[in-house]
Structure formats: C-alpha cells, structure tokens
Amino acid sequence: MENKTLTKENIEETEKNKNDNSSKVTENNLNDQNIKKEKAKKKIFIFLIVLLIIGIIYGIYWILYGRNFVETDDAYVNGNQNIITSQVGGTITEIYIEDTQFVEKGQLLAVLDNIDYKIALENAAASLGKSVRTYSNLSSDVEQSEDNVKVRESQLKKAETDFAMDRASYNAGLISKHQYETSKNNLNIAISSLNQSKKALENARIQAESSSIHNHPDIQQAITAYKNAYVNLMRTKIFAPESGNIAKKAVFLGQKISASQELMTIIDLDNVWVDANLKETQMKDVKPGDEVQLISDINGKKYIGYVQGLSAGTGSSLSLLPAQNATGNWIKIVQRIPVRIIIDKDSLQKNGMIPIGSSMKAIVNIKKETKNILPYTKKSSTLYSIDEDVMNKEIEQIIKINLGKN
C-alpha cells in the first residue's frame, strides 16, 4: 500500500513539474519573440533613418550639384569618313597602303594602268593638229573661191556672147529652135554657177576673217577633247584628300575597278566628335557652348568637350523609315535628340585617340559654358585640280607646230 501511495504521489509530482516546465518554456518563447520584435523594429527604424539620410544627402547633392548636369550613356564617337574612289576606270598596278596605316594629305595611295589614257591623249593631240591645219587652209580657200568666181564670170561672158549670136541666128532662121534653147540654158547655168561661186567666196571670207584660231568651233572642240584626255591621264594616280588612318581597304593589285567604285576609307582621328542622344525631357537647358565631360568605354579616360549644336530633328524623324504615329494603337515614347559634342584637341592629345563608333558617357554641365566655340568652317582641296598652265602650254605648242610656227 505504501508503495502504491508513493507511486501515485511521484506521478502527481512529476506531472506538476512537467506543467511548471511547460509554462516556463512558453514564457521564455514569449520573451524571445518580444525581443525579436524589438530588434526588428530597431532595424526598420535604423533602415528608415538611413533612407532619410540618403534622401537628404541626395537632395543636397541635387540642389547644389546634380541639377546642373545632364548625362547619358547613349553617346558614340563619330568622325569624317572620307571614302576614296577613282575618277576613272582601269587596272590597279601599284598600291602603297594597308588597313590601319596612317597617311598624310596628298600621299600617293594607288596607281592605275595608264596606257589606254596615254593613247587617248596622243589621239586627241593628233585631232587637234588636224583641226589646226584645216583652219590654216581657210585663207587658201578664199583664194581658191576668188579664182572660181573669176572662172564663172568668164564662163558667163562667153555664155552671154554665144546666146546673143544664137538669138540673132535663130531670128534669121539660120539655126534651129533646139540650138537656141540650148544656148539660153547655158546662159542660165552660167549665171547660177557664178552666184554659187560668189556665195562660196563670201562664206570662205567669213570663216577666215570672223574668228581667230582659238575661237573657231572645230579648234575649240579639239582643245576640249585634248583637255579631257589630259585630265583622265592625270587621274590614274589616286591621292589622299585628308590625313588619317586607312580603313575598309577593298583594292588589290591587278584588280579592275570602275569610276566611282569605293576603294578605301580615310578616317581623321584628330577631328572627331561625339553624338550624344539625349532624351527630349533632358533638353530644356542644354545649349551650344555647354561644357561636356566625356568618359570613354575603351580606356576609361575623361575627355573634355563642348556642345557645338543640336540636331534639327529627333533620331526617329530622321531615320530611313520615320515612325507613323497617326494610328489607333499609339503609345507615347520618349524621343531622343542627337547633340553634337566637339572634343577638345588638347584633351585628345593628352588621353589618346579614340576610334569612331566607340561608346562614351556624356555629362553636360548646363551651368558652365566654354568661350572657345569653333565655328563651322569651309573645307576645300586642291588635290583634284590640274595644273592648267602646263596643259595650256602643251596645247599652244601643238597649235604652233601645225601652223608651221616652230
């Protein structure tokens, strides 16, 4: 009985201990949860404080600095691509360049076979000489026409005498009517022949007296043909119109090329600019002269430039196929406007050249303007001109030789 009682008491005590332990565990869990909640509240509070501080710092930055700048990653280096073509057709016999090579303005790039053009020039010279000799015969044509007039006048006098005699004989019944009519016709023929000879003499005098050798149509035509052949011969040599680097070379020895065929491109990396495509919402205060900081994706270096001008149209409106917004499913899209940015020469020399087409980050300082804006300038080249003095001297020499004035 005592064992049973003890056992029962032990069981009750054990259960009591279990209940006490369970309540303690529950209480501890509640305390842990409260502690976690407090920590979470503190973290959220700290996070909100950090956000507020960041917002304040950004606001101060925007007010004092950020609002003065407009930036975009949609910017690319651009430059003049001088496409080299031949002005005449022919076979390439000499090449002096390769891709990536730097060439100076006026440097010889390639040479075409010129034998056909030499033959054409010689033929033009012969034609000019022939025209000159024809012109020199105009004075002798006048003399010949004068002699013809004298002969016709003599023939007319004889025809008049014969007709007078035949008319008297016909009236006297000594000759037939047929002989009379023949004599009359001979007189009319003599009169017409004299008139034609006088007109030919007049025309010969006009040709000989009314124009000098350089104003004569045949001579002018022959001179023009000679000049054309001379110029074509000179154009068998292809020169560089600008200094720069060779790119897209597409010409080889022995290649048959035609006039206006693209042979290569010369890119002047000393005169490049950046086309920055700014959103239309960023364009409010952007103006020519604003200083721009440019960061190259190639070398990470910073270049200095300035806004030279703003495009007259958005990229979409100036594209090959402009967008048509007059439709029922129109959705507004923020447009981009190309801005031309000139890179400072000193900045290029300091940081190195950058190839066209490479990406840039452009940061426009709308509150800082440069005073060194370069105006748009005219470009010209005498590379394709011909020494007309030399050509004209050769023409005069041909004329003198064929006039017998050596």
The pLDDT, as a whole number, for residue 88 is: 94
Query: pLDDT > 90: what percent of the chain?
Result: 38
The contacts of residue 73 (CB under 8 Å, 6+ apart) are 359, 361
Query: What integer is the mean pLDDT of 127-154?
Result: 77
Give the confidence band of 24 by pLDDT, cuts at 50, 70, 90: low
Compute the average pLDDT of residues 260-268.
93
Residue pLDDT, tens place only, 81-102: 999 999 999 999 999 999 999 9
| Token code pair at residue 53 | 């501080």
Q: Which of 339 and 386 is assigned the larger pLDDT?
A: 339
Regarding predicted confidence, which is higher, 41 or 71? 71
82 phi, psi to nearest 5 deg: -80, 105
Point out the least confidently predicted range of 6-20, 23-37, 90-104. Answer: 6-20
Residue 124 has what pLDDT? Answer: 95
Q: In angstroms, rounded to a whole number, what is the distance separating the alpha carbons of residues 363 and 73? A: 9
**Least confident interval from 182-191, 234-243, 245-254, 256-265:** 182-191
Q: What is the pLDDT of residue 108?
A: 94
Residue, of 118 and 207, whose pLDDT is higher: 118
Q: What length is written for the chain?
A: 406
Q: Are 229 and 78 in contact (CB under 8 A)?
A: no
List, as own/partner pairs, every contact residues 374-377 make where C-beta atoms lie below 8 angstroms and the sequence separation is at least 24, other chains included.
374/308, 374/342
Query: Would you place residue 21 in the very low, low, confident or very high pLDDT band (cuts 50, 70, 90)?
Result: low
Q: Per-residue pLDDT tens for 218-255?
A: 889 999 999 999 999 999 999 999 999 999 999 999 99
Q: Which of 14-18, 114-118, 190-194 has the lowest mean pLDDT?
A: 14-18
Task: Give dist(CA 353, CA 105) in Å, integer.
Answer: 19
**Would you place residue 4 in the very low, low, confident or very high pLDDT band (cuts 50, 70, 90)?**
very low
Angle at 49 between CA 43 and CA 55, to 5 degrees: 135
Segment 296-314 shows an average pLDDT of 91
Q: Does the pLDDT of residue 130 top 80, yes or no? A: yes
Q: Looking at residues 183-207, what average pLDDT do you find?
A: 79
Burial of 387 (0-12, 13-18, 19+ CB in 10 A): exposed
- With H, G, I as helix, E, B as strand and everything else as coil, classify residue 191: helix
Distance CA 397, CA 405 (A): 9
pLDDT of residue 206: 65
Give me the residues paired with residue 111 across strands: 94, 237
Average pLDDT over residues 160-178: 80
Please tell me what DSSP assigns to residue 376: P
Q: How many helices (H) and strands (E) does the chain have?
A: 7, 12
**Which pLDDT value is given to residue 5?**
47
Confidence of residue 183 (pLDDT cuts 50, 70, 90): confident
Say whether 267 sits in a helix, a strand or coil: strand
Query: Among candidates 188, 92, 205, which has minimal Cα distance to 145?
Result: 205
User: Using an 8 Å Cβ cutoff, are 98 and 210 in contact?
Assistant: no
